[in-house]
Every structure is written in structure tokens, then in C-alpha cells.
Structure 1
Amino acid sequence: MEKFCEDIGVEPENIIMLVLAWHLDAVNMGFFTKDEWLRGMTVLQCDCTERLQSKLDHLRSELNDSVVFKNIYRYAFDFARDKDQRSLDMDTAKSMLALLLGRTWPLFPVFHQFLEQSKYKGMNKDQWYNVLEFSRTINTDLSNYDEDGAWPVLLDEFVEWQKTWSAS
């Protein structure tokens, strides 16, 4: 995988690799099977490294489409999860959230800090999906957060922690 990334001029941790994995419908992080590769490259209409390089800007631009981004975000949960676990371990969840939301969600640094000090050891799929929804719908000042809404407890605790933290 490192050699491939070097060949196309992309760091392995670059979000473009997640977008590519999504297009290939890759099951495991860190490598692509021959079948995933052939099927994905056919769909992308790439028959060589140069052609794939020429598509990188297009792949990156797909992140600007909210529907495509949501699909990639949801895909990332199962892609990054240990297959024998139902949840993402918290370190992996924080890394993936940083990759996906770190540049676009103004509250991400605070949310990351909350996760760092929280009791949570992992993040389940419901929490994962709701973090994206929260990042898209709740104002940075949390003024439109409804305590009686159907948010996971993790997000209720984040809001409570943030209000306490910002008041001190």
C-alpha cells in the first residue's frame, strides 16, 4: 500500500485514500484485494497509475457533495472497525473523525478534547452516524441543541461538558 501511495503521490493517511477505498468497496483497511482493485478501477475507468492520478482531484471533489460525503462517512465506520468488534475503538474513532470532520466541523477540536477525557472506550455505529448529523445540524454555540432530542448519550454528555467547560 505504501508503494502504491508513493506511486500516485498521496500519503497513506490522506482522505483521498478513504475515498478510493470506498470506490473500490474495500473491506479491510491497509490493502485492496485483487477483485476489489479490478472492479473499482473498472468503475473508475482507470487502467494505469497515471489515469488514477488524473482522477484524484475529482475524487477529492466528491467530498463536497453532502450525499456522497455521508456515504463515505458511513462506509468509514465498517472499513476502520476490527471485523470481530461491533464498535470502533476510541483511538481509531478519533483518528477517523479527525480525517473526516477535522477540517470542516468548527467544534471538532472541542469534541476531540471531550473524547480524550471521556470514559468511552469505543464508539458504536449509532453514535458514529449521529456525530455527523450533529456536526451538520447543531450550531457552533449549541444554541439549537434540544436536550430532549433523540441524540445518543455521548452527544448529550458532550454538550453538557462543553457548556461547563466554556463557562469556566
Structure 2
Amino acid sequence: MTPTPSLLKPEPYTPQRALYLFKNYADSDNPNVIGPEGFERLCAEAEIPMEGAMPLLLAWQMNASEMAKLTKEEWVKGTDIFKLSSLSALATALADLESLLIRNQKPLERSNKKDPYDRTQYWKYADDTKGAFHKFYTFCYNLVKPPQSRNIDMETSMAFWSVLLVPKYPIMTEVLEFINEKGSYKATNKDLWTMMLEFCTTVQPSLTDYESDGAWPTLLDDFVTWKRDKSSNGRPGNAMEH
């Protein structure tokens, strides 16, 4: 199904247009929800890659309560904050956030030209990218965790880490290799999820400043032992840098 030109054109924001855009992807049996099928079609038609971070950034900015689902209320609030009501503006906003928070690109330059969407929120994130990413990272854990569970299964955790952390912290490539090789870690609780980001942001890639008595999760202690053993056996890991 090809989106109509009016959905693609970067037209000025109006609440009515934003609602029209929502209705185009809402479930046929529940007009108040964009379900997984509509969410995927929305991303496809806006040329938002499903395998990257942009769909997660979309969920975060809409404050979605469920994975690959958006309610009308979430959509109305989210699109009003960014003042966007076209696929073009949506794609631009998400690409800007991905560049800033995932790819560590320099913030956009402020200009007098009319922005394709309201960048007020973007500038707030640009003023504190570390804090913004931490909020986004925490949101993703709550988004993907099953409601009745305290954990995320390890396969899902690894998929999320590969999207959220690998582009920012190359050492995560080796962490994922280690988890894969071991195959004995089954789930991620909130502490491990939080400490994985802490590890990436505070420990040198050389691991010289890693303190095994520093209350790190067992998985990270095991990873450091594994990497040091690899290095001492003449198979040094890649030179990784933050």
C-alpha cells in the first residue's frame, strides 16, 4: 500500500493532519491503536529501518507503553511536542535523534531557517546527551520487559544491546561475543541492564581500571576474566576505544 502524497510531504503541522496520519495506520478493528502491523507499515513508508534504533526512539518519544504499539493518546501527545504531522517530518526527527544519541554525532547547528519540526526537545537532549541516552536506555528495558516478569531473556537483551550500545561502545561487540560463546546466561535483570551501560561509560576498553571487587554483575566479572585470558594467550582482542 503506497502512502498518499499528503502523508509524505513535509507540510506544516496541524493536530488534524497528525490525527489523519494516525488513522492511516490504526488497526481496522481498533481505530484507537496502531498495532504491530500498522507500526511496521508506518516505519516502512517513512523509510525508518526496523532493525535499527529509530523505531525504539519513536516509541520513546511517544512514551509508548507497549512494544510496536502506539495508542491515539500517545500519538497525539508525541506529535504535538514535536509539531509534526507528516512521514517526512517524523523520519527527519528520528534520524536527528539517532545521529545525536546513538551515533555520537555533533548536534545540529541552530539556524534561522524554519525547522521541519519543533526541535525544542532535540536541543534539550543536545545539552545533556549522556542524561538523555540514559533515559532512553532505561525506557527500552521497561518497554521490552514482559509485564509479569522481572527479567528480559538474554537473546532479546543481546538484540537490544547490539542496537543501543554497540554503535556507541565498540567493546560491546566483544561482550556479545563472550555471552554467545558461553551460552549459559539466560536472562537480564534491571541491575545487569543498568550496569552494562555503566561498564561501557566508566571502564577503559583496555579494562586496566576494572575492579573485580567493585560490585559488578557476575557476567561482567566473567567477561573481564575471559578477555584477559584471551589476551594473555596471545590472542589479544581488538583495540577498542570509546
Please indicate, yes or no, whether the TM-score normalized by the shorter chain is above 0.5.
yes
> How far is 1:165 from its partner?
2.5
Counterpart residue number, 2:57? 19
Structure 2 residue corresponding to 1:88, chosen from 137, 152, 155: 152
Counterpart residue number, 1:120? 185
Counterpart residue number, 1:39? 77
In 1, Cα distance between equivalents of 2:92 and 2:156: 30
In 2, Cα distance between equivalents of 1:20 and 1:120: 30
Q: Secondary structure at the match of 2:179?
A: helix
Counterpart residue number, 2:171? 107
The answer as to whether partners of 1:20 and 1:59 remain within 8 angstroms in 2 is no
Structure 2 residue corresponding to 1:131, chosen from 189, 192, 196: 196
Counterpart residue number, 2:66? 28
Deviates more, 1:102-111 or 1:131-140: 102-111
Q: Alignment length, in residue pairs?
A: 168
Deviates more, 1:155-164 or 1:44-53: 44-53
The answer as to whether partners of 2:151 and 2:188 remain within 8 angstroms in 1 is yes
The answer as to whether partners of 1:62 and 1:69 remain within 8 angstroms in 2 is no
Q: Secondary structure at the match of 2:70?
A: coil
Structure 1 residue corresponding to 2:215, chosen from 110, 131, 150: 150
Q: Is 1:56 aligned to residue 94 of structure 2?
A: yes
Counterpart residue number, 2:231? 166
Deviates more, 1:31-40 or 1:53-62: 53-62
Deviates more, 1:143-152 or 1:87-96: 143-152
Give the root-mean-square deviation of aligned CA atoms.
1.5
Q: Which has the higher helix share?
A: 1
Once the two structures are superposed, what CA deviation does each residue of 1:31-64 show, in whole Å capped at 9, x if it has no partner? 2122211111111211222322332333224414
Q: Which has the larger radius of gyration?
A: 2
In 1, Cα distance between equivalents of 2:205 and 2:220: 14
Once the two structures are superposed, what CA deviation does each residue of 1:58-95 show, in whole Å capped at 9, x if it has no partner? 32244141111111111111111222211110000000
TM-score by length of 1: 0.93
TM-score by length of 2: 0.66
Residue segments in structure 2 that go unaligned for 5+ positions in a row: 1-38, 105-128, 234-242
In 1, Cα distance between equivalents of 2:228 and 2:212: 12
Counterpart residue number, 2:143? 79
Give the partner amino acid of 1:99: V
Residue segments in structure 1 that go unaligned for 5+ positions in a row: none
Q: Is 1:69 aligned to residue 133 of structure 2?
A: yes
> How far is 1:118 from its partner?
4.0
Give the partner amino acid of 1:147: S
